């Protein structure tokens, strides 16, 4: 029968076992983590972590992870954009939502969240466009539905406040052509009162006949009223003063297209975008411009003729 181990021997064995366990634990900690596990952890923290800065870091890790799929990266951009917006980093937030939409143009959350940032900055027109884009994808998107109503009220209130301020100024300075032009432009771009807008622009042009900006504003009023020949004349006059302005070129293009001068109008659009990138998007925010009956009839005939 073997003799039992002495107490000192038993203690030494326990110490060796503990040392071995500690070494194994340390080696496990130093071993490279499974990328899939790390990615899943980052996705989870990005989506629902407790601390904003920790979530932003996790979202950034997902975005930079070559192994992340497109859906994970889109969600990370949207989450990071929302978090940045909450921290007042509006420009960076808008950039994140834009990157998400480049990866997935049908992501209603990206549109709705970007719209919320625009609204926070007072850019109601841009906010409304984003909310409407979100609702065209998901008609029941709760944020877009709620914030769109807010933006509509906010835009009306902001425009009316600006018009009231300009009206007060013009009561003191009735010959202030810049104020008349600004009130005309506000009314035209917000469909406030096109007849009053035209009166303001006419007064501005009478005071400063070579104001290209006033001619441009009046051109838009004529477009919205459906007087395309008058619009063309104003844009031509504005371009005779400032020939390289993309905004004026695009307006002339709209007038030409609605007068049936399709080839010339398309050439103006191309030149306008080259001179002033993004001008088409700016005009899209100015609201509905009626189509000339002749152009509408031509388009309808072409559609019928197609097999």
Q: Which domains are present in the chain?
A: 37-151 (1.25.40.10), 173-305 (1.25.40.10)
Find how far residue 274's CA is from the centre of its chain: 21
pLDDT in tens, 248-297: 999 999 999 999 999 999 999 999 999 988 788 778 878 778 776 555 44
**Cα–Cα distance list, 195 to 67, 84, 163, 177, 273 (Å):** 59, 43, 15, 18, 30
- The per-residue pLDDT for 9 is 55
pLDDT in tens, 100-125: 999 999 999 999 999 999 888 878 88
Give me the chain's average pLDDT, please.
Answer: 86
- The per-residue pLDDT for 24 is 44
The answer, yes or no, to whether residue 218 has pLDDT greater than 90, is: yes
pLDDT in tens, 123-149: 888 899 999 999 999 999 999 999 999
Q: What value does the mean pLDDT take over residues 60-71?
A: 95
The answer, yes or no, to whether residue 17 has pLDDT greater than 50, is: no
Nearest to 148 by CA among 138, 82, 183: 138
The answer, yes or no, to whether residue 14 has pLDDT greater than 70, is: no
Q: Choose the weakest-confidence range: 11-20, 58-67, 68-77, 140-149.
A: 11-20
- The per-residue pLDDT for 5 is 46
Whole-prediction pTM value?
Answer: 0.61
pLDDT in tens, 220-238: 999 999 999 999 999 999 9
| Whole-number percent of the chain with pLDDT over 70 | 84
């Amino acid at each position: 029968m073997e003799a039992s181990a002495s107490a000192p021997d038993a203690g030494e064995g326990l110490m060796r076992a503990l040392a071995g366990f500690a070494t194994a634990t340390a080696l496990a900690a130093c071993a490279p983590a499974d990328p899939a596990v790390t990615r899943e952890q980052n996705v989870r923290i990005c989506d629902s972590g407790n601390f904003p800065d920790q979530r932003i870091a996790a979202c950034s890790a997902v975005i930079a992870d070559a192994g992340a799929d497109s859906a994970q990266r889109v969600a990370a951009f949207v989450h990071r954009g929302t978090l940045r917006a909450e921290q007042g980093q509006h420009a960076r937030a808008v950039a994140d939502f834009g990157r998400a939409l480049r990866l997935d143009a049908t992501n209603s959350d990206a549109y709705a969240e970007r719209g919320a940032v625009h609204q926070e900055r007072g850019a109601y027109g841009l906010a409304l466009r984003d909310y409407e884009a979100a609702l065209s994808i998901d008609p029941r998107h709760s944020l877009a539905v709620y914030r769109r109503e807010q933006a509509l009220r906010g835009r009306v209130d902001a425009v009316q406040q600006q018009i009231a301020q300009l009206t007060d100024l013009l009561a003191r300075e009735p010959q202030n052509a810049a104020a008349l032009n600004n009130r005309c432009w506000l009314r035209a771009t917000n469909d406030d009162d096109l007849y009053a807008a035209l009166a303001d622009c006419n007064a501005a042009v009478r005071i400063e006949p070579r104001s290209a900006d006033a001619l441009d504003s009046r051109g838009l009023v004529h477009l919205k009223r459906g007087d395309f020949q008058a619009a063309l004349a104003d844009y031509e006059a504005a371009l005779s003063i400032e020939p390289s302005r993309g905004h004026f070129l695009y307006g002339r293009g709209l007038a030409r297209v609605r007068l049936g001068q399709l080839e010339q109008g398309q050439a103006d659009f191309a030149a306008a975008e080259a001179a002033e990138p993004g001008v088409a998007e700016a005009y899209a925010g100015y609201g509905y411009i009626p189509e000339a009956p002749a152009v509408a009839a031509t388009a309808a005939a072409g559609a019928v003729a197609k097999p």
